Amino acid sequence: MWDDRYATDEYRFGTQPNRFLEDCASLLPPAARILSLGEGEGRNAVYLAGLGFDVTAVDASAVGLAKARQLAQERGVTLTTITADLNDYPIEAAAWDVIINFFCHMPEPERAPLHQRVIAGLKPGGAYILEVFSPQQPQFGSGGPTTRDLLMSVEDTRRELTGLDLRIVRELIRHRDDDDPSTPLVAVLQVLALKI
Ligand X SMILES: C[S@@+](CC[C@H](N)C(=O)[O-])C[C@H]1O[C@@H](n2cnc3c(N)ncnc32)[C@H](O)[C@@H]1O
Residues that bind ligand X (CB under 6 A): 2, 13, 38-40, 43, 59-61, 64, 85-87, 102-104, 106
Q: List the beta strands (DSSP E) in 40-184.
A: 54-59, 80-83, 96-102, 122-133, 164-175
Min dist. Cβ of residue 19 to ligand X (A): 11
65 sits in the region (left: phi over 0; alpha: psi -120 to 50; else beta) called: alpha
Judged by beta carbon, residue 73 or residue 87, the one nearer ligand X is 87
Q: Which residues pair with 172 in a beta bridge?
A: 188
**Would you report the helix, strand and coil content of the chain in percent, each value rounded to 5?**
30, 30, 40
- Closer residue to ligand X (CB): 22 or 165: 22
Nearer to ligand X, 109 or 124 (CB): 109
- Dmax of the chain from CA atoms? 44
For residue 12, the minimal CB distance to ligand X (Å) is 8
Give least dist CB 38 to ligand X, A: 3
Decide if 173 contacts 12 (C-beta within 8 A): no
Of 118, 143, 145, nearest to 130 (Cα)?
A: 118
> Residue 124 or residue 179: which is nearer to ligand X going by CB?
179
Nearer to ligand X, 32 or 132 (CB): 132
Distance CA 96, CA 54 (A): 10
CB of 171 to ligand X, least distance (A): 18
Distance of closest approach, residue 101 Cβ to ligand X, in angstroms: 8
